[in-house]
Structure 1
């Protein structure tokens, strides 16, 4: 992919097109926003089914493969899911009716006697009569919520239709969509590839890993409850699936209260079996989850918990899967931003002169600026190489080296001190030399006179 021009320079040269692109993006988001959760659900389903799409494309066209997978998804996933939710909703209403009417099979006396055996004396009838109004208010709110859910069926149908079309489009043209995203996002190609890779790991951990683990535990707990004859098996299985998505709760949130209920009603053997069976199912989380998820740095318990509950509020039911991915993606993006900011070149600060090459310095002796010679040329023997170099420089006429030699007063001072230390002998020798020179001059004068004659 070709290198992108600098973003700031490019935007500055095309302000009109930049503003138009921003406005178009905002308007597009406003159109998508009412059905954002269904669009995200389609993205999640497409992510799960992409390997199957690639496998089918070996034998049929991408169009046929996408249509086949969409049909299988509707028949194998959406319809059973709708049925399970309907059954769970009906069982929840039945429990509400039993509690509200008091005509169910709950034997209050047996429950009270079992609680007394373990050290708790509770009058359930008196408790219900005391808090009857708050309980009735809560049940009324639950009924109103059920009515609102039923009234929102047309909107649910439209949203699922959006999900189906998004799923089909991504399965058929998902590769082109990824290339388009890489062209649109204004960051370097290597950084974008790294970001998409990390998000892929997060999506796998959230959707495939956590959901598969939660589904396995929900099915196992549901089978155990059905064998023991516990009522509302479908509802409890759905609740187990939701709790299993939370790392701090898990399947404990279902089988522990049910076991306590069985103990309270005197069913000691089923309660003991459920405790042992539930412990095994919950312990399987320790082995299944790491095998499916592996190690993802940005995917920790805090992100899972906050992402699930926050995702439920913002995105609805699909927020169970999207919420942790959004939070984890935000963490990865900030980590990438911090790393690139730390690696970016910074201006040189300090006492030195900015912008000067370190290889070009000013010689402290001469005041001349030039490139420093190699260290081997700077290594000079203090014993006598300095005088030899000075003689060679005087013969060759190197003015710069003469300055360097002349600017070394220490050696001249040492020579003067040594001459003064010679004493009278040196002085006498000098006088004799001067006398010889005078005699020589007189001889030369006599010779010149004779030549003139």
Structure 2
């Protein structure tokens, strides 16, 4: 009994000390699982495990981790500048703010007049309420972007932990899998199924989303650049980030930039970008199934809740880790009920 208490205390102490880095370590584990097939191919060609792991770690760092981190800060910095510019920009027609420019569009003006006919509220009150709402949202987004820039040192520490974790999970991951197989509370068959499910989840959540996001961002940037719209890279970055959010996707960025062009009086560019929004939205449905064949899939609503829940609890990495945890939870529950039915 005393031995178990001592082990429990040591375990709690270790978790407490390591808790600030658990999230990046988990992200490193997920990315390592994603690269296991490549590691096995390199080992089949008689390359040492340590060398193969180092090459793969450097590769994913240069091709994904560093560009994604730099893109995130580019979005935060330029997004804050653009947000301030849009907030302060006057309308050419009325001399008011860009909020008033939106409310002055004929379709929205007719809708507001219809609302004032049926509800005891004046047009001016509606306009002021819309401006207050937009101002509050803008302040929240600005605070979020400023906070992201302020956390720059911590994010780079997390990036370093992810890189180191990827390498050591690739080198020693088989030992961890052997330990899990030996000490699992499930049967051997159920344990193998869970391990296989984890690989499928990582492939569906990370790889499918990554490829889909890159393709969507490139296509959107091509359309944005072809219309002469500014900040093509910023729009592409927003599309890439948004593509990882289930149900919502890249629609807010693609449709938003099209609406902005209509507001600026560029009807031709607005129409082209609306067509681009439809194309980009369709690409996800075409690309993602190519990576989901034979892998674990997750209900869209559960994936949506898990992604936003992860974002709220553990930050940006929660968008990736949330669906992985949710899918493993579903797989574990299914195994438990399958065992009861037997």
Shorter chain as denominator, the TM-score bin is 0.7 to 0.9
Alignment of 1:100-179 (within 5 A): 100-102=87-89, 107-109=92-94, 111=101, 115-116=105-106, 120=110, 139=138, 141-179=140-178
Which deviations, in whole Å up to 9, do the C-alpha atoms of 1:178-222 show, x marking residues without a partner? 112222333322221122122222222111123322232122112
Which deviations, in whole Å up to 9, do the C-alpha atoms of 1:161-188 show, x marking residues without a partner? 2212111101112212211222233332
In 1, are the aligned partners of 2:208 and 2:288 still within 8 Å (CA)? Answer: yes
Q: CA deviation at 1:324?
A: 0.9
Q: Distance in 2 between matches of 1:151 and 1:246?
A: 24
Q: Are 1:185 and 2:184 an aligned pair?
A: yes
Shift in CA distance, 284/121, structure 1 to aligned 2, threshold 3 Å: closer
Shift in CA distance, 102/271, structure 1 to aligned 2, threshold 3 Å: closer
Q: Specify which structure has the higher proportion of helix.
A: 2
Greater RCO, 1 or 2 (C-alpha within 8 Å, sep 6+): 2
Q: Distance in 2 between matches of 1:310 and 1:271?
A: 34
Shift in CA distance, 165/331, structure 1 to aligned 2, threshold 3 Å: same
Tell me, which stretches of 5 or more residues in structure 2 are unaligned?
96-100, 113-122
SS in 1 for 2:248: coil
Tell me, which stretches of 5 or more residues in structure 1 are unaligned?
1-14, 344-453
1:206 — aligned with what?
205
In 1, are the aligned partners of 2:197 and 2:296 still within 8 Å (CA)? Answer: no
Q: Distance in 2 between matches of 1:339 and 1:303?
A: 21
Shift in CA distance, 108/173, structure 1 to aligned 2, threshold 3 Å: farther
Question: If the length of structure 2 is used for normalisation, what is the TM-score?
Answer: 0.82
Q: Are 1:24 and 2:14 an aligned pair?
A: no
Shift in CA distance, 125/98, structure 1 to aligned 2, threshold 3 Å: farther
In 1, are the aligned partners of 2:198 and 2:328 still within 8 Å (CA)? Answer: yes
Question: If the length of structure 1 is used for normalisation, what is the TM-score?
Answer: 0.64
Which deviations, in whole Å up to 9, do the C-alpha atoms of 1:409-445 show, x marking residues without a partner? xxxxxxxxxxxxxxxxxxxxxxxxxxxxxxxxxxxxx
Give the length in aligned residue pairs.
327
Shift in CA distance, 291/143, structure 1 to aligned 2, threshold 3 Å: closer
SS in 2 for 1:250: coil
Q: What is the root-mean-square deviation of aligned Cα atoms in Å?
A: 3.2
Q: CA deviation at 1:297?
A: 6.3
Which deviations, in whole Å up to 9, do the C-alpha atoms of 1:253-276 show, x marking residues without a partner? 222232223233332222222222
Q: Are 1:65 and 2:52 an aligned pair?
A: yes
1:234 — aligned with what?
233
Shift in CA distance, 135/304, structure 1 to aligned 2, threshold 3 Å: closer
